[in-house]
Chains A and B, each alone.
Chain A
């Protein structure tokens, strides 16, 4: 495990970028890491580009990731990749929506949680914590749907 994990989440307003970021940062928090997350509110509901920065590890100063230093970029919309790809470090991993992935989901609105499923394979955070945080974050009637989406992501070949 690296000392600091830098994760950038991108998508469009309404896709649940902020919720996905809440889940990841809360999971890191509950795993005992120092954590900083930065996002910008205001325009995020209106279909525009949304970016959040998540950094966790033993000690975090800046809430923003430096260009070229992101270990992971998770894109909920592949068309958003272009504008952030220079954030990715040389050995970083770009996680876009795999082809046909949306069709595997019962409800397309769970894409944000399914993408965390893919990301989770690379992070040192236990399944128990992921499950607990997802349950606490999403509305209760969508809990099962989201937990299933998470599993679909976790099992996806990527």
Chain B
């Protein structure tokens, strides 16, 4: 394990040191807004203390990033594989266009989480948010799974406005007693079946173990599964001229 002190370093210097570190186990201390940490990384494991900047783990292609603190915007932008764990909250557009790997956020996440997330064959991306997410959750979602647990939402839908806008693939799982009132017409939502709850059991186990949350607490509220009812939402939009 190698230790890097981020204090006073700009992103280019810090990321250069992380890239050139020979040891695949890296601990970075005193992160303070440095962007692009772990950009395109694979085969390394980062433990970050402090607050990393925007685009943490963008194009991540394997390996693992764990943040002891909050993350900012575009965490895991276009990530392809690997894992990002945030022991706190993450900002807007978390998991933007991610195609593989997983992002676990212990607390809340900002607007447009999982926007344009997509899946392909064995690449099935996953985002789990322990708290609540902001508006436009799963906008244009085309694949993968977004789970929002709302552990401090008291059973209310743990999302903001316009959840699932433009969703045309994948699925979303919300832990709440009542669905958001403004779901778009192209989304079909239903209480999770026993089979579906069993299906996410492994994910919940992993999330709970990751943050030391008792699984029993998580299972105290019901779950809803939201899926698009078409993968071609704009078929009737055009006429050939």
Does B bind A?
Answer: no
